[in-house]
Amino acid sequence: MKRLLDRLVSSATSKRRAEDATADADDEGYFATQFVERPEDARANSAWTARALVVGATSLDPEAGLALLLQTWGKDALMASLSDADRRKLLTHLHFVSVPAGRELIVQDEKGDYALVVLEGLVAVDRVQPTGARARLAEAREGDVLGEMSLLDAGARFASCLTLSRCSLAVLTCTALDELAVEEPRLGMALMSSTARRLSWRMRQLSARLGALLTAG
């Protein structure tokens, strides 16, 4: 979480620096920046772009997707403190999709730069064994988050996630998270607070299961 906090704490300073740089830009600076990757280009290069094609993801109406997200996360403290106008800014940073059953949303050991919020449906979270067998770690439902650890630390995926039913999902990419940290730090903090709360809850569940297994052994 340190990486996230560093982003949010420095967001106001970064924004001011960007504004100053824009105000002082001359013709040379203008032409020099024409070859810098734009945010939309970075989004297109997200690992989710390829994964979406593999799983047959189709776009979900943004208004409907936002309504589902607020239905599951709207009562979280920081999210509830936001105005409707602030909440609607999420439409700029999140992508909402629908995915059929039997599709691998996240593949174990792959590098990932996106997280998924389950808005509707059921997803199996499995640890794939060397033999190919799958050990069920959890089943994610409405409001749960998948892949947030790799989103924050850029590490390999710990488990595979398979849709058990048709699912509606909100997609948050690393690029979108960076944009939120700089442009909308309060909104970014609310979003990540909700994510961290669910990560903590899931880790407690896993710790309890491991404790029970060790005691039984």
| Predicted TM-score of the model (pTM) | 0.76
Distance CA 148, CA 118 (A): 12
| 10-residue stretch averages of pLDDT, the chain, 217 residues long | 51 50 45 42 73 96 96 88 92 96 95 93 93 88 90 83 98 91 90 82 72 71
Residue 46 inside a domain? The answer is no
Residue 20 inside a domain? The answer is no
User: Domain containing 200 — which CATH number?
Assistant: 2.60.120.10
Task: List the 104-106 sheet strands across, edge first.
Answer: 104-106, 160-163, 123-128, 134-140
Using one digit for the tens of pLDDT, what is the confidence trace for 160-207?
A: 999 999 999 999 998 998 899 899 998 988 888 888 888 777 777 777
Residue 6 inside a domain? The answer is yes
Q: How many domains does the chain have?
A: 1
Q: Is 79 left (phi over 0), alpha (psi -120 to 50) or beta?
A: alpha
Residue 63 inside a domain? The answer is yes
Residue 66 inside a domain? The answer is yes
Residue 21 inside a domain? The answer is no
Residue 121 inside a domain? The answer is yes
> What's the domain range around 85?
2-15+56-216
Residue 165 inside a domain? The answer is yes
Q: Which residues 6+ apart lie within 8 Å of 104 measured at CB?
A: 54, 55, 160, 161, 162
DSSP 8-state secondary structure symbol assigned to residue 111:
B
Are 54 and 162 in contact, with CB atoms under 8 Å apart?
no
